Amino acid sequence: MSYLPTKNRDVEQRLRDEAKSLLEQGRVDYVIGFEPGSLKFTTTPLITNNKDDVDHLVINPFIVNNLSVYLTEIKGRVGIIAKGCDSRSIISLIQDKQVVREDIVIMGIPCPGLIDLKKVERLVGKDRDELDNIIRDGDKVVITVDGQGKEYPITEVLYDNCLGCEFPTPQEYDVLLGEPAPLVTDLTASRQKIEMLEGMSQQQRWDFWKDEFSRCIRCYACRNICPACFCERCFVEESEPQWVLPVPRWQDNLIFQVVRNIHVAGRCTDCGECERACPMNIPLRSLARKTYDLVDELFHYKSGTDKEASPLMTAYEQAEAEDFIR
């Protein structure tokens, strides 16, 4: 099954050709991309050094993972598929000297936004595995249930972070596959949860997060899926001193997330992976995007847009807001 109209499939073929030639010419040791997942409407990361595997590479509205998370782990030169936000994460890793630009070949994919299956499920009142098909065509999506196709505006099913995307086309690449993507945004929908939180009193907000973090089971999927979380040893795992308990008490869960957000400030590219990975449906992106906006507002800094720039917290510019220093 393909989730793309036929006219977009040549991008997939170009990608496979490119990836194959990278491996054949020995320009990279590994290719990281997406192959079809084992469940409906899923893809799964493909990490391979075998040129025959690249025929499985796919591009579709379900290529959710930010593959740059693997860059710090894989030894050798890597050809990687990157959407707009992923390319920014790569740039950020270069700025932080976690990876070397010369060791990476970026195959950029202009990204018109990814489909949030939870939104699809809410929209049609069925679980993802009960749907026949989901096909995106430009600014429309056709969802087929029990043989009946129904068309919806694409903005109803894109991830919140995609609706707030600023750079759908990769900011850094060696080869760009496809035409630069048009910006499909709905900033109101993208900021809906954040505005709801901004409208709360401090007490209400505290109660909200207490409730949300009471569900956290401390599986650390949010941290492990995050390319900006590259610490070899996370502060939550320190035992001397023990900053927080490794047990899922809501207070410790909250501190974990607050500190994590501050640690990734200036590195987070709003790829939305933390929230997508959370099995407990905690709206983590609301914290991440708020921090992202604060970084922009206070430091006029957008993560991962300039590989020559110093990482946010290592540089000082006179134009930076300093009304917090008194």
- Is 280 a residue that touches other proteins (CB under 8 A)? yes
Q: Which stretch binds other proteins (CB under 8 A): 20-28, 40-48, 102-110, 142-150?
A: 40-48
Tell me how crowded residue 173 is: count the other CB atoms within 10 A of its CB.
Answer: 18
- Is 217 a residue that touches other proteins (CB under 8 A)? yes
Judged by CB, which is closer to other proteins: 86, or 172?
86
* Euclidean distance between the first and the last CA atom of the chain, given in angstroms as a whole number: 60
Segment 154 to 183, residues that bind other proteins, using CB under 8 A: none
Segment 65 to 124, residues that bind other proteins, using CB under 8 A: 65, 69-70, 118
Strands across the sheet with 133-137, in order?
133-137, 140-145, 148-153
Q: Which stretch binds other proteins (CB under 8 A): 42-50, 85-93, 94-102, 198-206?
A: 42-50
Among residues 10, 17, 24, 127, the one that binds other proteins under rule CB under 8 A: 127
Q: At 284, is the secondary structure helix, strand, or coil?
A: helix
CA dist., res. 145 & res. 10, Å (int): 27
Please give the structure tokens belonging to residue 200: 């709360």
Contacts of 183 (CB under 8 A, 6+ apart): 165, 166, 168
Q: Which stretch binds other proteins (CB under 8 A): 152-160, 172-180, 190-198, 238-246?
A: 238-246
CA dist., res. 82 & res. 79, Å (int): 10
Q: What does the DSSP 8-state code read for residue 307?
A: T
Judged by CB, which is closer to other proteins: 14, or 40?
40
Judged by CB, which is closer to other proteins: 211, or 322?
211
Q: Please name which of 283, 71, 326, 88 lies closest in space to residue 193, comparing C-alpha atoms.
A: 283
Q: Please name which of 25, 118, 16 lies closest in space to residue 77, comparing C-alpha atoms.
A: 25
Judged by CB, which is closer to other proteins: 62, or 301?
62
CA dist., res. 40 & res. 60, Å (int): 13
Segment 255 to 274, residues that bind other proteins, using CB under 8 A: 273
Judged by CB, which is closer to other proteins: 221, or 309?
221
Query: Which positions lie near other proteins, rule CB under 8 A?
Result: 37-40, 42-47, 65, 69-70, 118, 127, 129-130, 212, 215, 217-221, 223-225, 237, 239, 245-249, 273, 276-277, 279-281
